[in-house]
């Protein structure tokens, strides 16, 4: 069969963009309950199996930065983190069945940032599929027959608009604008 989009490639891009700082992979945001590990927020994902180990490590080191660096080097935790993103994001957008790696990358990474249903809806609008936020066969066919560079350009515009609205609503977010 034909080469399809590859989760590992999209995930490597995500890691480079979002989690390049090993000392900040584990952190606690002000005004949030619980820890965040590589974008996985404890309060939203309390049943994720790795919180016990993460918390034990944080206690052992006594500070989150040192714990973060140590945990970042743990291959089992890294594999479980990748599995989490595959299940919660990639599989919901039928990533393994998308032909274009570039299109898959864009939906995946935007999905991690804004929620997968929102990212799917935006992609559906572009390709003229029913924009219900659920990625089914109809959406898959529409995406797989859509011009890649046209999609890329149109999806970039949606992302830019989204982040501009976010900054307008909360000017302190300007530091995150990239």
Listed range (35-44, 79-88, 89-98, 164-173) with the worst mean pLDDT: 164-173
pLDDT digits (tens, 9 = 90+) for 115-170: 999 999 999 999 999 999 999 999 999 999 999 999 999 999 999 999 899 889 88
Strand ranges across the sheet with 26-27: 26-27, 36-37, 40-41
Distance separating alpha carbons of residues 48 and 92, to the nearest angstrom: 18
Mean pLDDT for the chain? 94
Distance separating alpha carbons of residues 144 and 94, to the nearest angstrom: 11
User: Where is pLDDT greater, at 178 or 22?
Assistant: 22
pLDDT at residue 176 in the model: 62
pLDDT at residue 32 in the model: 84
Q: How far apart are the first and last CA of the chain?
A: 37
pTM of the full structure: 0.91
pLDDT at residue 3 in the model: 85
What is the DSSP code string of 71-116?
HHT-HHHHHHHHHHHIIIIIGGGTGGG-S-HHHHHHHHHHHHHH-H
């Amino acid at each position: 069969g034909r080469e399809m989009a590859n989760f590992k490639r999209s995930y490597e891009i995500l890691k480079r963009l979002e989690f390049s700082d090993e000392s900040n992979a584990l952190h606690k945001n002000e005004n949030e309950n619980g820890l965040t590990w590589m974008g996985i927020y404890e309060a939203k994902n309390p049943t994720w199996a790795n919180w016990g180990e993460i918390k034990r490590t944080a206690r052992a080191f006594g500070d989150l930065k040192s714990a973060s660096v140590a945990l970042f080097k743990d291959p089992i935790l890294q594999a479980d983190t990748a599995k989490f993103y595959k299940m919660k994001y990639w599989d919901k957008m039928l990533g393994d069945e998308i032909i274009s790696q570039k299109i898959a990358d864009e939906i995946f990474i935007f999905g991690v940032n804004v929620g997968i249903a929102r990212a799917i809806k935006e992609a559906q609008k572009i390709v003229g599929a029913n924009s219900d936020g659920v990625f089914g066969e109809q959406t898959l066919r529409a995406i797989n027959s859509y011009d890649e560079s046209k999609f890329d350009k149109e999806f970039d515009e949606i992302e830019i608009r989204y982040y501009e609205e976010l900054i307008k609503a909360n000017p302190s977010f300007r530091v995150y604008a990239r």
